[in-house]
Amino acid sequence: MPSKKAPNPIDIHVGSRVRLRRMMLGMSQEKLGESLGITFQQIQKYEKGTNRIGASRLQHIATILKVPVAFFFEDAPGTPDETPGVGDNPQTTYVVDFLSSSDGLALNKAFVRIENPKVRKKVVELVKSIAGDEE
């Protein structure tokens, strides 16, 4: 049996950004797949980075998800903005993972609906205090 190559870190990153945006819009894998004329299993493979997304397909996904193509490459590993040893890439990965979770997404959706900036600030202070992250 041939050994499978590990997915490219950029493919994994782009896939996670597709997932993040799809979830932000409340769109299912089935719905995105349907819009692209492919199966939800293919969307799963894209989102995991198992299958690479071709340029024309990425452009189509960007159109459906209403974001510029560049959105999928923001904070990608190895991008020029990244300084080795100093970059906040693990932090970025943590944020993307959190926002891709159902709890993170629910918290984010509820938080952005809070219109009063003072209330938002108090919510952030509360969460920091519960987490034991006093600044």
Per-residue model confidence as pLDDT tens digits over 7-43? 888 999 999 999 989 988 889 999 999 999 999 999 9
Res 62: pLDDT: 96
Query: Terminus-to-terminus CA distance in the chain, angstroms?
Result: 54
What is the rounded CA–CA span in Å between residue 73 and residue 17?
8
What is the rounded CA–CA span in Å between residue 61 and residue 75?
19
User: Environment class of residue 113 by beta-carbon count within 10 Å: exposed (0-12), middle (13-18) or buried (19+)?
Assistant: exposed
* Res. 69: pLDDT tops 90: yes
Query: Can you point out the beta strands (E) in the chain?
Result: none
CATH topology (fold) of 9-87? 434 Repressor (Amino-terminal Domain) (1.10.260)
What is the rounded CA–CA span in Å between residue 26 and residue 21?
9
Answer for the pair 47, 16: CB distance below 8 angstroms, yes or no: yes
Length of the chain: 135
Res 75: pLDDT: 81
What average pLDDT is seen over the chain? 83
pTM over 0.75: no
Domain ranges of the chain: 9-87, 101-135
Answer for the pair 76, 14: CB distance below 8 angstroms, yes or no: yes
What is the rounded CA–CA span in Å between residue 49 and residue 113?
32
